Amino acid sequence: MKVRAISGFGVKGPACFVVEVGGLRLLVDCGRGPDFDTPPDLSGLGVIDAVLISHAHRDHAGALDLLEAADRPPVYASDLTAQLAGFVPDHLLPLDGTLDISGIEILAGRAGHAPGGVWLRIGGAGGLLYTGDFSNEGALFSPTPWPRAQALIFDASYGAYDKDVAGAISAIGDIARIGPVLLPAPAAGRGLEMAVELHRAGHEVRLCPVHRTVAATVLERDVELAPQARDALAGLLAETRELRVDAAPSGVMIAAKADGGGGLARRLVDAWADRREVAIVFTGHLSAGTPAPDLVTSGRARFIRWNVHPRLDDIETLLVAVAPEAAMPAFLPIGQMPEFVAALPDAPLVLSPELQLSRR
């Protein structure tokens, strides 16, 4: 087995990896951005037999248009991932289950990060586990337990960070008790998680139309949700008002897109960034090329991390469960690697964009 990170090692995305196993060449994820909407460099890629997409976020599924130059290999994704990302898959990935691609077993399980999102194990216990983005703290999407694998590519987006999401819930709640809060967020993931938690905490919550549509789609598709999450999501839709562009600021207002880079969030950020009565809070990666970094630097917005990626404790649990011989940390800027390595002194980390294994 040979694995090469086209993009995703030493940087915060986009995700794009080539896996060669049993005479098969697979492309795992094919995203853009998040900084400046950067695409992966697919030049010289060669023949690809199939493409596996872990979830719908743009940094994992946003560059599928580039595959036309690679003779458009068949694309595999879960039904909900494909709908949310806006493409038609050639084959469906299960949220929990296996399929066969040219004699190679693909096992999929829920990753807990986004609706329809999965981790992927390629080639059985002697093969590779790719976590994609994953989270163990979400209020909605419960993850499937990890399987064993000889090799591992795992989400290390937060590096050695180890604080839980409870602090963010409390901090944003404190701000909301003082006045209106605007939370730009992705609708297919963190936005709905925040809405459910803050609504449970008794805050007035308003969701933009995109968030409400995604919530309704998740409920209609009968996606397996965390315990009691279905009732919480249905209650959220029934008990909250829609956020519109002409809305007067009040309560907790959650709008797509993240970073205020587009959609209703961009229009509200532009309208409210200089109004002291509205607190703008970004909760995820502050993508270069969007309004978020400048707004936070200038003090017109705040940053409070809301976990949708693993903490250090989650990564330690992952490594014990999977017991890999080689583990490549993905989506972590190279400058944060030394601290991360020091925090995991016994882990079999591969600090290179390539790994090769003799399969058991």
Please write the tens of the pLDDT for every residue from 134-143: 999 988 988 9
> Do 132 and 230 belong together in one domain?
no
Beta strands 118-122 and 16-21, pairing class: unpaired
Query: In this model, does residue 152 exceed pLDDT 70?
Result: yes
Neighbouring C-beta atoms of residue 97, cutoff 10 Å: 12
Q: Whole-angstrom Cα distance, residue 81 to residue 94?
A: 11
> Do 36 and 151 belong together in one domain?
yes
The C-alpha angle with vertex 294 and arms to 292 and 299, in degrees rounded to 5, equals 95
When computed from its CA atoms, the radius of gyration of the chain, rounded to whole angstroms, is 20
> Do 118 and 236 belong together in one domain?
no
Confidence of residue 70 (pLDDT cuts 50, 70, 90): low
Q: Read off the CATH number of the domain in which 261 is found.
A: 3.40.50.10890
**pLDDT at 181 (0 to 100):** 98
Q: Is the whole-model pTM more than 0.85? A: yes
> Do 133 and 272 belong together in one domain?
no
| Domain, as residue range, for 237 | 166-303
> Do 6 and 133 belong together in one domain?
yes
For the chain, how many structural domains are there in total?
2
Query: In this model, does residue 190 exceed pLDDT 70?
Result: yes
Q: Whole-angstrom Cα distance, residue 114 to residue 223?
A: 11
Query: In this model, does residue 356 exceed pLDDT 70?
Result: yes
In the chain, what percentage of residues exceed pLDDT 90? 90
> Do 37 and 144 belong together in one domain?
yes
Q: Mean pLDDT across the stretch 88-102?
A: 96
Last residue of a domain, one of 303, 320, 338: 303
Mean pLDDT of the chain: 95
Confidence of residue 310 (pLDDT cuts 50, 70, 90): very high
Q: Read off the CATH number of the domain in which 112 is found.
A: 3.60.15.10
If you search the block for the tokens 């829609």, which residue do you land on? 242
Q: Whole-angstrom Cα distance, residue 126 to residue 148?
A: 8
The predicted-structure confidence for 105-131, as pLDDT tens digits, reads as follows 999 999 999 999 999 999 999 999 999
Alpha helices in the chain (DSSP H): 58-61, 79-85, 166-178, 190-200, 209-220, 229-239, 263-272, 292-297, 312-322, 337-343
Query: In this model, does residue 73 exceed pLDDT 90?
Result: yes
> Do 337 and 244 belong together in one domain?
no
**184 forms bridges with which residues in the sheet?**
255
The predicted-structure confidence for 30-58, as pLDDT tens digits, reads as follows 999 899 999 999 988 889 999 999 999 99
Confidence of residue 328 (pLDDT cuts 50, 70, 90): very high
> Do 275 and 174 belong together in one domain?
yes
Q: Mean pLDDT across the stretch 266-290?
A: 95
Confidence of residue 326 (pLDDT cuts 50, 70, 90): very high
> Do 17 and 102 belong together in one domain?
yes
Whether a cis peptide bond, with omega within 30° of 0, leads into 163 is: no
> Do 337 and 234 belong together in one domain?
no
> Do 68 and 91 belong together in one domain?
yes
Check if the beta carbon of residue 173 is closer than 8 Å to that of residue 145.
no
Neighbouring C-beta atoms of residue 86, cutoff 10 Å: 10
Q: Mean pLDDT across the stretch 341-350?
A: 97
Last residue of a domain, one of 268, 284, 303: 303
The predicted-structure confidence for 215-249, as pLDDT tens digits, reads as follows 999 998 877 787 789 999 999 999 999 999 998 99
**pLDDT at 357 (0 to 100):** 86
Rounded to the nearest angstrom, the gap between the alpha carbon of residue 177 and the centroid of all alpha carbons in its chain is 29
**pLDDT at 359 (0 to 100):** 60
Last residue of a domain, one of 258, 286, 303: 303
**pLDDT at 139 (0 to 100):** 87
> Do 87 and 175 belong together in one domain?
no
Q: Which residue has the higher pLDDT, 70 or 285?
A: 285
Phi first, then psi, for residue 149 (nearest 5°) are: -160, 150
Q: Mean pLDDT across the stretch 287-314?
A: 97
**pLDDT at 13 (0 to 100):** 82
